[in-house]
Amino acid sequence: MLSDVIDLLADPVDGSRLTPGEDRWQTVVSDTGHTYEVARQGYVTLCGGAGLRYSGDDASMIDARETFLSGGHFAPFVEAVTHHVEEALDEAHVAEEAHPAIVEIGAGTGYYLSHALDTIQNSRGVGIDVSTAAAKRLANAHPRIGAVVADAWSTLPLREGSVDAIMVVFAPRNAAEFARILKPAGQVVVLTPEVGHLVELREPLGILDVEEGKVDRMIKQASGHLKVVGEPETVEFEMNLDQASISAQIGMSPSARHIHPQVLQERIAQLPSTMTVTARAVVTRLGQAH
Ligand SMILES: C[S@@+](CC[C@H](N)C(=O)[O-])C[C@H]1O[C@@H](n2cnc3c(N)ncnc32)[C@H](O)[C@@H]1O
């Protein structure tokens, strides 16, 4: 709930502290007098005067993501991300009693953040997504998640030096802002798809491949703000997917926007009834560069 993380949140306009309004969490108010409404579903939109430039995943993509992830097909990814967040907190000597603060950027349905919060005692999380469809899910994904609609490419509505760990799973990375909101020993755990991810589906469905060198580019873009900690870990496994799961996997990805739904369904119907499909991604940890 927002009450678990209010001390981490900041006014998107000027970075000042936010506290609950006098109306029992129907609004939050900044020290400088800006008021932000808390939606009926429990999330708050924290964006500056210019508003949001992106809409993020729509409701049908979020539904498809929920369907696919609830099948457990990405379990090794969620286990790996949580494991790296635990290691990051251990390395920073964050005590459970300190209520570790974890932020997920582009948190979607909250699948990854909820798993981390379930595993790490006393932790609390801020789930940030630019999509209101995602925020509605996030607000109910876990009792210790505070759900916030915000744009990862703008100033993040989080207090400077307040966060123990940031998770980014197949979502946008803003290294300068991550460095600003992280504590000095805080770390970012990033899961990035690698060449070979879903390779068996690419040709039959006509979907784009992952670009070569994605992880190296991400590390290069972060330099000056964040630097790699330890060795990146490749996580690769096989999934047995039926046509409904394949349809959900494609429906939750940007491919869904590039191919007409009818054409996509016709291509999926041509596939065997179940297929072995490779999942492949890299976990990278980044800490403060300075
Ligand atoms: C590929 S999905 C990953 C979702 C989640 N991390 C997962 O793996 O289940 C990318 C997510 O990032 C969100 N997103 C895209 N652009 C964003 C932005 N500029 N700021 C915040 N979130 C954004 C989308 O709405 C979507 O929920």
CA 20 to centroid of ligand 1, rounded, Å: 27
Confidence of residue 255 (pLDDT cuts 50, 70, 90): confident
pLDDT of residue 105: 98
Q: Which helix (H) or strand (E) holds 91?
A: helix 75-91
Q: Which atom of ligand 1 lies at the shortest distance from residue 69's CA?
A: 9
Percent of the chain with pLDDT over 90: 90
Dump pLDDT digits (tens) for 155-208. 999 999 999 999 999 999 999 999 999 999 999 999 999 999 999 999 999 988
Give mean pLDDT, residues 55-77: 96
Bridge partners, 282 (sequence order): 192, 234
Give mean pLDDT, residues 255-284: 92
CA 218 to centroid of ligand 1, rounded, Å: 16
Q: Binding residue per annotation — 110?
A: yes
Instruction: Tell me which long-range contacts 113-117 makes (C-beta under 8 A, separation of at least 24).
Output: 113/138, 113/141, 113/142, 113/145, 113/167, 114/141, 114/142, 114/145, 115/78, 115/79, 115/81, 115/82, 116/81, 116/82, 116/85, 116/167, 117/142, 117/144, 117/145
Q: Give nearest CA residue, ligand 1 atom 7.
A: 108
Dump pLDDT digits (tens) for 23-63. 889 999 999 999 999 999 999 999 987 778 888 999 999 99
Confidence of residue 17 (pLDDT cuts 50, 70, 90): very high
Counting every residue, how long is the chain? 290
Instruction: Give the binding-site residues of ligand 1, using a 6 Å CB cut-off.
Output: 54, 56-57, 65, 106-109, 111-112, 128-131, 134, 151-153, 169-172
> Of 21-25, 110-114, 140-144, which gets the smallest average pLDDT?
21-25
The two three-digit tokens of residue 36, written as one number: 């932000």
pLDDT of residue 53: 84
Q: Which atom of ligand 1 lies at the shortest distance from residue 131's CA?
A: 25
Q: Which atom of ligand 1 lies at the shortest distance from residue 134's CA?
A: 27
CA 87 to centroid of ligand 1, rounded, Å: 24
CA 129 to centroid of ligand 1, rounded, Å: 6
- Give the chain's domains with CATH numbers: 2-288 (3.40.50.150)
CA 168 to centroid of ligand 1, rounded, Å: 9
pLDDT of residue 261: 86
pLDDT of residue 51: 78
Q: Binding residue per annotation — 178?
A: no
Give mean pLDDT, residues 122-131: 98
Q: Is the separation of the CB atoms in 111 and 191 below 8 Å?
A: no
Give mean pLDDT, residues 219-241: 96
Q: Binding residue per annotation — 109?
A: yes
pLDDT of residue 185: 98
Q: Give nearest CA residue, ligand 1 atom 4.
A: 108
Give mean pLDDT, residues 253-262: 81
Instruction: Of 226, 266, 279, give the one whose Cα is nearest residue 88.
Output: 226
> Of 14-18, 253-257, 286-290, which gets the smallest average pLDDT?
253-257
pLDDT of residue 171: 96
pLDDT of residue 52: 84
